[in-house]
């Protein structure tokens, strides 16, 4: 909590819906709280909901019975109307997400409260600066973006408009911390920090679907099993509302004057036009009308098993984190793991796994890897005579990296230990032997496999690299700090990892390679790399293995 500004002792909340009542439930823990709504029935429901919420907290043990009772005693209706908020130090608006309603409300509040009262809008997408323009003394207006449900979610974004004063920001920050929340700060702009940084999760999923890289179910499954997300992008879209998500996409695109990274999808528009708006309609990307689950339960992962007879030798080439993890996992599964520089003694490996394929735009490896690269090419020549190859599709698609060859392709977003699934791909030239051995290899390591169409990064690689890239844009533009960005994605959206720390784990050179390959093969502006990301790679700050990336590390294992 800020030492300069103490939390307010008298708070007003305007709007008694689900969000407003939740905010009031939080505020009355430490301050006299007045809840206002122009509809008497809505006000009564909101007060009841907030008090019942306090009772539930006491029953769960997250709040003592004494604290819950004293909090309930500090919660009152703002009667006879807005005038009751005259003595408030902070008023938090939770009205419907319409700019005309919010601006009108702020103009009315300015006629009631003192000049020192800070006015906060709970908008999740509307520009704070535009709302503040309706207020006298717009410097006292800030954003306080609570996440739904407010009493349970651990995050609050405090958003500074163009004219917001430091005192107003500090007071809102202190109030958020007094509510028990982690408070992150953002500057005003489309989606602020959290919602902006999460744009690629659905948008890249839609792009993958439009390109027929994978279907809806496969994309979601890959995100859950390989990435550790609680839901895939399409499941989440159905939960939020397909139509709601499309409105947000259009708003982002319009507010950014046509930023290519945020261009809405025609598939999304078609879904909305068909009335398939998600769970609330019974159908969206999935069908919820039956009695069973909208997707079948996931089968158990394959049991790790020794390699099949005649397939015990694998060659794994590459110097990155993924290559090292694959070596360890393969050795633990019973494979004899060799490097490309080791003599073969005439024995043909069952599989050659190439984790270091690069194009000329990707930073080159240290010179001491030259012998390993030459040996790898020798193995590649032998592969044409029977030893199948498996190529990491990071610096390009399989077709680009193995033009005219018979290799299979793969990609997995590390760390491998937490990835329950590996993606595989093939071209028209991929040999059946390479495909079969690639699948058996990862199943022997205890991983699910999913075959998808060919492209750089495959499915999760594209989604995660675009998330890292969007966060790098936000960081470079001063929208928020690296820590606030990652805290926001973890606490506000339940991501499995903060994207910037995840990028450091994967290797920022790997992230940049995927993005540059997508740009080279697609020529779409949505795949241009953020200047901050490219600068870090050029400086050699490629992540944990380099002990510096978006964050600093004491050691590669930190």
Strand order in the sheet with 336-338: 336-338, 313-317, 351-354, 389-392, 408-411, 421-425, 448-451
SS3 for 145-214 is: EECCCCCCCCEEEEEECCCCCHHHHHHHHHHHHHCCCEEEEEECCCCCCHHHHCHHHHHHHHHHHHCCCC
Q: How many residues does the chain have?
A: 558
Give residues with Cβ within 8 angstroms of 346, minimum separation 6: none
Residues carrying an active site annotation? 124, 145, 157, 195
How many angstroms separate the CA atoms of 462 and 394, rounded? 9
161 contacts 142 by C-beta, under 8 angstroms: yes
Task: Report whether 355 contacts 315 (CB < 8 A).
Answer: no
Q: SS3 string of 389-453?
A: EEEECCCCCHHHHCCCCCCEEEECCCCHHHCCEEEEECCCCCCHHHHHHHHHHHHHCCCEEEECC
Contacts of 535 (CB under 8 A, 6+ apart): none
- What does the block give as tokens for 429? 């030239």
| Sign, Cα dihedral of 276, 279, 283, 286 | positive
Could you tell me which of 495, 501, 484 has the C-alpha nearest to residue 181? 484
Exposure of 80 by Cβ count < 10 A (0-12 exposed, 13-18 middle, 19+ buried)? Answer: exposed
Q: Tokens in use for 556?
A: 């590669």
- DSSP state at residue 522: H
Instruction: Indicate left, alpha or beta for 31 from its phi (over 0: left) and psi (-120 to 50: alpha).
Output: beta
Q: Tokens 């390959």 — which residue?
A: 517
- 3-state DSSP call for residue 354? strand
User: How far is it, in rounded angstroms, from Cα 438 to Cα 8?
Assistant: 61
As beta bridge partners, residue 184 has: 157
Contacts of 551 (CB under 8 A, 6+ apart): 482, 500, 501, 504
CB atoms within 10 A of CB 347: 12
Give the whole-angstrom CA distance, residue 335 versus residue 337: 6
Rounded Cα–Cα distance for residues 68 and 48 (Å): 14
- Neighbouring-strand partners of residue 93: 14, 121
Q: How many CB atoms lie within 10 A of CB 207?
A: 23
């Amino acid at each position: 909590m800020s030492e300069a500004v103490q939390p307010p002792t008298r708070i007003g909340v305007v709007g008694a819906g689900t969000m407003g009542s939740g905010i009031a439930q939080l505020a009355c823990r430490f301050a006299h709280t007045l809840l206002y709504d122009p509809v008497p029935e809505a006000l009564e429901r909101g007060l009841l909901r907030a008090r019942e919420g306090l009772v539930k907290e006491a029953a769960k043990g997250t709040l003592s019975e004494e604290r819950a009772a004293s909090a309930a005693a500090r919660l009152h209706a703002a009667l006879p109307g807005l005038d009751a908020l005259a003595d408030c130090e902070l008023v938090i608006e939770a009205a419907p997400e319409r700019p005309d309603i919010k601006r009108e409300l702020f103009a009315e509040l300015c006629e009631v409260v003192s000049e020192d009262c800070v006015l906060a809008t709970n908008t999740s997408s509307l520009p704070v600066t535009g709302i503040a323009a309706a207020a006298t003394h717009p410097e006292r207006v800030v954003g306080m973006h609570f996440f739904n449900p407010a009493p349970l979610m651990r995050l609050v974004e405090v958003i500074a408009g163009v004219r917001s004063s430091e005192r107003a920001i500090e007071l809102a920050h202190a109030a958020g911390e007094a509510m028990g929340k982690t408070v992150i700060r953002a500057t005003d702009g489309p989606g602020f920090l959290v919602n902006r940084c999460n744009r690629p999760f659905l948008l890249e999923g839609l792009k993958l679907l439009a390109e027929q890289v994978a279907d809806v179910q496969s994309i979601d499954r890959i995100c859950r099993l390989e990435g550790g997300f609680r839901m895939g992008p399409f499941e989440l879209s159905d939960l939020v509302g397909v139509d709601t998500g499309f409105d947000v996409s259009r708003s982002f695109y319009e507010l950014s004057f046509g930023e290519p990274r945020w261009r809405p999808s025609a598939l999304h528009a078609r879904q909305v036009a068909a009335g398939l708006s998600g769970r609330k309609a019974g159908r969206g990307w999935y069908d919820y009308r039956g009695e069973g689950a909208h997707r079948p339960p996931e089968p158990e992962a394959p049991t790790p098993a020794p390699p099949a007879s005649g397939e015990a030798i694998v060659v794994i080439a590459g110097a990155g984190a993924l290559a090292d993890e694959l070596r360890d996992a393969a050795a633990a599964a019973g494979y004899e793991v060799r490097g490309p520089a080791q003599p073969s003694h005439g024995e043909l490996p069952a599989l050659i796994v190439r984790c270091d394929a690069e194009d000329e735009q990707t930073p080159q490896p240290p010179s001491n890897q030259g012998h390993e690269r030459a040996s790898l090419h020798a193995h590649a020549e032998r592969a044409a005579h029977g030893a199948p190859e498996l190529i990491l599709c990071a610096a390009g698609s399989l077709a680009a990296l193995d033009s005219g060859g018979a290799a299979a392709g793969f990609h997995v977003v590390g760390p491998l230990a937490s990835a329950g699934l590996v993606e595989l791909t093939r071209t028209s030239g991929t040999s059946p032997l390479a495909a079969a051995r690639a699948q058996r290899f990862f199943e022997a390591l205890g991983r699910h496999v999913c075959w998808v169409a060919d492209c750089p990064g495959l499915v999760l690689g594209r989604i995660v690299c675009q998330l890292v890239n969007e966060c790098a844009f936000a960081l470079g533009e001063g929208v928020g700090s690296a820590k606030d960005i990652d805290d926001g994605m973890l606490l506000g959206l339940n991501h499995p990892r903060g994207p910037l720390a995840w990028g450091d784990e994967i290797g920022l050179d790997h992230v940049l390679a995927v993005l540059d390959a997508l740009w080279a093969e697609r020529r779409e502006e949505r795949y241009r790399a953020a200047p901050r990301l490219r600068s870090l790679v050029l400086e050699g700050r490629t992540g944990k293995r380099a002990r510096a990336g978006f964050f600093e590390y004491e050691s590669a294992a930190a």
